[in-house]
Amino acid sequence: MKVAIVLAVLVSTVVSTDQLFGHQEKLRHERSLVKFGALCSGNPTNQKRGCDVKGCGNYGAKRGSRTHKGLDIVCNDGATVYAPFDVQLNGKAVPYGSPSDLQKLINDGVNLSGEGLCFKLFYVKPDKYRGSLKKGDRIGILHPMQRVYRGITSHTHVQMCDRSDPTKYF
């Protein structure tokens, strides 16, 4: 009897584990198919920020002794920022822990989730920090980057919550 119970527990554990791994694999595959819709008015193709006088906008670009943990998408100062797909707004995100007086102008952003992804948009003044939006709905506007970093290509910074490379989603 004890052997039968142990076998039943083992079989159910193996089946549950197989289902869990299968589910995780399905989620991984679904996330790999996700593509961001247009983030900013004036940039319907999500053109990425290249290199300019202030550096480069690609994931992994050098930032002094650290590396860039996001992807910069071109967005003009004051441009409308849109939901790239149906999203949940999950609160405020700030790019700088203790910003300089000038950086305080753009020390704003929002945490979002949707399509199985968790990500942040920096330099955005959202209309709200909580709630849900449909694809293409207005999130807010881009802060005035030129006042802080003159000569930079104005952009919104997309950063995955786990700090992985978001490039494949564009």
Write down the domain spans for the chain.
1-33, 51-169
Do 125 and 140 contact (CB within 8 A), yes or no? yes
Helix residue ranges, H only, 33-107: none
Task: Place domain 51-169 in its CATH homologous superfamily.
Answer: Glucose Permease (Domain IIA) (2.70.70.10)
Task: Give me the percent of the chain exceeding a pLDDT of 70.
Answer: 81
Joined together, the tokens standing for residue 46 give: 């999500």
Can you tell me whether residue 155 is helix, strand or coil? strand
pLDDT, mean of residues 31-56:
94
Compute the mean pLDDT over every residue in the chain, rounded to the nearest whole number: 89
Model pTM?
Answer: 0.82
Tell me, what's the pLDDT at 12? 53
Name the band, by pLDDT with cuts 50, 70 and 90, for residue 33.
confident
pLDDT, mean of residues 98-102:
94
Name the band, by pLDDT with cuts 50, 70 and 90, for residue 81.
very high
The 10s digit of each residue's pLDDT in 113-168 is 999 999 999 999 999 999 999 999 999 999 999 999 999 999 999 999 999 999 99
| pLDDT at position 60 over 50 | yes
Secondary structure element (H or E) that encloses residue 125, with its range: strand 124-126
Do 83 and 146 contact (CB within 8 A), yes or no? no
46 or 7, greater pLDDT? 46
Residue with tokens 């989620």: 27
Tell me, what's the pLDDT at 28? 59
CA-based nearest residue to 116, from 88, 151, 148, 154? 88
110 or 28, greater pLDDT? 110
